[in-house]
Amino acid sequence: QVQLVESGGGLVQAGGSLRLSCAASGSIDSISKVAWYRQAPGKQRELVSTITRGGTTTYADSVKGRFTISKNNALITYLQMNSLKPEDTAVYYCKAVARRGLVDLSYWGQGTQVTVSS
């Protein structure tokens, strides 16, 4: 079992910055990848960024060059968000992928609200 808690969201003006945190607990040694997703009202949840245990990162085209995913220990994954735009407004969720044999299991946090005003 993996438990995830997001924090760091808030209200910022366009052009501002926020850093989100995703704290993991439980069977953290089984985690192979952590991803950040976001979901705006009335829209599907979309993938924002991923980081593997080996440190390989990916970014959605819409955030590349503005967002940075990182981690400084086995428990916390960060999403640094710079040059924020109103279209970045969404609930941001972290997801951990844990391998059990041939099966990948996904665990989700509760989400943290990011609101960017124009």
Question: For 38-68, how does the pLDDT look when each residue is reduced to its tens digit (9 = 90+)?
Answer: 999 999 999 999 999 999 999 999 999 999 9
Helices H, strands E: what count in the chain? 0, 11
Alpha-carbon span 11 to 5, nearest angstrom: 19
**Is the confidence at residue 72, as pLDDT, over 90?**
no
Query: Comparing 1 with 81, which gets the higher pLDDT?
Result: 81
